[in-house]
Structure 1
Amino acid sequence: MTQTIFSPEPHRGWLPWAWLSPVVCILLVAFSSVPFDFGLEWIGVMDAKRQPASASAFCLDLLLPFAGMGAAVWAWSHFVERRSLATLGLVGAGRLRKYVAGMGIGLGMVALAVMSIWLVGGYVVGDVLPAFSSPASLFWIAVLLACFAFQAGVEEFIFRGWLLSTATRRWNLAAGFIASSTAFTFLHFSPHQPVREIVMAFTFGMFACAWAWRAGSIWGVMGWHAGWNWITGVGFAVPITGFDLHLPALLVQLTPTGPDVLTGGPAGPESSALTIGLLAAATLLLLAWPKGFAAAAQGTSAKGDNRATQKST
């Protein structure tokens, strides 16, 4: 039995089968981003190992490939599936409030994960607020907030907005969770990475799906993802998903001293076993959220969906 998520508004074009939707997603993302990836490497912005030469280089890497990905998925949903943005999770009232609240939760969850790693001996604390001694660093940290907001927003639009809703419409919610998280994990895979990092990507995807489902939109999880990525990258001078941003820490300089399973190794604290456990627990909490709260959220979402449907007609 098929289900809908975000909005009951029907699609007016062709919707790929649930098993095919992650394949379509992977192809759209790959073909739209690879030319930018090669171009950035060719002009020296990124090296052969996909490491940025500077903070400004990393900003370009967050903007150009993701602009291509977002445009490709939007074009597919608009011209092939003929769906409104409401059916892709961009629906509901209080959008800015949900986004800012999500960002705050993202900042807090990263702080909790990093503090937990430090408490069990994974980090040595260095300078406090070192970025404030460099106006240029503060400028790029602020610019990176906007860049991470764009990058995270595009990822959520693709994986939790479009792919989650597509597979759910074609089969059911469980299929949507699996399709979205599998494609997200595949596109974050690199050869020779530890299994722990693969588990992290899948857990991250499941958490984001659970949030989008419970909220009835992707505004909150977009903010959460932006806050999570930004403070991980600039807050502690540790890698984010393996990238070094070449900036002093905004909050506190940390030096990893523990084993990779604790600190995340070259991938950064995102791939710590403690962070994976935190996201897994948060996912279970969202999935087991009391029905009363879920019903209230669904009621708010439905009102926003109706308004979006009326505007689109």
Structure 2
Amino acid sequence: MTQALYAPWPETARRTWGWGALGLMVAGYLVSSVPVVIGTVIYTLVLTVSSGATDPMAAQSALSENTLTILLPLMLLQFITWVVMTLVWVKLFEKRPFSTIGIEGRGFLGRYLLGLPLGMVLVVLVSVAATLLNLGAAPANDALGELDPARALGQAALIAYAGLFIGFLIQGGVEELVFRGWLMSALTARWGKVLGVFTASFAFALLHLHVFISGLMYGVLALSGIGLTGLVFALTALWRRSMIEAAAAHGAFNAVAVIAPTFALMASDPEQTIHTAVAQVFSSATGMAGVESVTIGPETYAQLIAMGGLSAIMLIGLIIRGRKG
């Protein structure tokens, strides 16, 4: 009988090959990246024709500055394409119901609403860790103006916050469905629960190799923190026998992690627009700011420590529950 993480697999279901599942995940990601590549090329060509600029770095910089209106919508299209391909694979090749990847229609809304505050709590946990690590450090020389929340609450900003929140809920949900829903359950069916959970979490971390753009040391620390965050989501799905709570938590975590510093930047700097603030925060949050813009301080270790501690506690809890069961 196929070992199931969530609902039992029907007898007629097919199991995706172990290592083949990892290759299929990578292939799906690459194929779904086509809209981003095409959109980027079109944007670069239009920019070149309209401005006469020929420097590719200038075009890349312009794309980064338009993160809110161009880059993020393209990435959202990529994630939607990826999840559609994954769901088609589950239904047409593996021939198993969506309940076997942790999606249960009954009680969906309640589970999702439970996951949203969990994601926000994770942001608070990381923030507390960063604050504790910064105790005793010399105060930063803040060159920005005084905090004025009214500057961050204009109509354009509020629309942007809403769009970012919805967009990251979709993005986080897609990553959970692919990694904790499909990949983790497919690997568990082949290799067992332990290897399935940890391999899927490792694969999730490798999806974020772009953090090494900001330097080797930063990349190692950031990738470790991301991997442990993925493990927290995996253990949440395992604990709840559903990926719905993890999907909501992941989306809320990413959304708050971008919206909160964007709000702070807008409120403290009168020269910031919502477009420049989002571009700056997104570049920093994704680890793509570059070596020159990244300083490894106590806050760099916060996610690593917070998520590592939480995942250890959750693992112990699952082991104890398993022994009692």
Normalising by the smaller structure, the TM-score range is 0.7 to 0.9
Change in Cα spacing, 1:182 to 1:135, as seen in structure 2 (3 Å) is: same
Ranges in structure 2 where 5+ consecutive residues have no aligned partner: 48-58, 266-273, 279-292
Number of the residue aligned with 2:23: 23
Deviation at 1:52? 5.5
Cα separation, 1, equivalents of 2:258 and 2:28: 27
Cα separation, 1, equivalents of 2:35 and 2:11: 31
Residues 175-194 of structure 1: CA deviation (Å, up to 9, x unaligned)? 11122112212221125442
Query: Are 1:229 and 2:272 an aligned pair?
Result: no
1:69 pairs with one of 82, 93, 96: 82
Change in Cα spacing, 1:4 to 1:146, as seen in structure 2 (3 Å) is: same
Change in Cα spacing, 1:258 to 1:182, as seen in structure 2 (3 Å) is: closer
Query: Are 1:147 and 2:167 an aligned pair?
Result: yes
Cα separation, 1, equivalents of 2:78 and 2:96: 24
The runs of 4+ residues in structure 1 deviating greater than 4 Å are: 121-126, 290-296
Residues 78-102 of structure 1: CA deviation (Å, up to 9, x unaligned)? 1111111000100264322221221
Cα separation, 2, equivalents of 1:215 and 1:142: 28
Deviation at 1:115? 4.2
Cα separation, 2, equivalents of 1:157 and 1:290: 22
Change in Cα spacing, 1:66 to 1:99, as seen in structure 2 (3 Å) is: same
| Count of residues in Structure 1 that have an aligned counterpart in Structure 2 | 277
Residue correspondence of structure 1 range 166-181 to structure 2 within 5 A: 166-181=186-201
RMSD: 3.3
Larger Rg: 2
Cα separation, 2, equivalents of 1:161 and 1:11: 19
Number of the residue aligned with 2:124: 111
Name the TM-score, length of structure 2 as normaliser: 0.74
Cα separation, 1, equivalents of 2:13 and 2:193: 21
Number of the residue aligned with 1:162: 182
Indicate the SS of the match to 1:51: helix
- Counterpart amino acid of residue 162 in structure 2: A
Residues 17-44 of structure 1: CA deviation (Å, up to 9, x unaligned)? 323321221111212x221121221233
Contact 1:58 1:245 in 2 (8 A): no
Cα separation, 2, equivalents of 1:295 and 1:218: 23
Indicate the SS of the match to 1:5: coil
2:237 pairs with one of 199, 204, 212: 212
Deviation at 1:166? 0.4
Cα separation, 2, equivalents of 1:198 and 1:69: 22
Change in Cα spacing, 1:12 to 1:29, as seen in structure 2 (3 Å) is: farther
Deviation at 1:132? 4.1
Identity of aligned residues (%): 21
Residue correspondence of structure 1 range 116-135 to structure 2 within 5 A: 116-118=129-131, 120=134, 121=137, 127=147, 129=149, 132-135=152-155
Number of the residue aligned with 1:277: 305
Name the TM-score, length of structure 1 as normaliser: 0.77
Number of the residue aligned with 2:290: none
Change in Cα spacing, 1:140 to 1:15, as seen in structure 2 (3 Å) is: same
Ranges in structure 1 where 5+ consecutive residues have no aligned partner: 249-256, 264-271, 299-313
Residues 34-87 of structure 1: CA deviation (Å, up to 9, x unaligned)? 211212212338964773614222440342000111011111111111111000
Query: Are 1:5 and 2:5 an aligned pair?
Result: yes
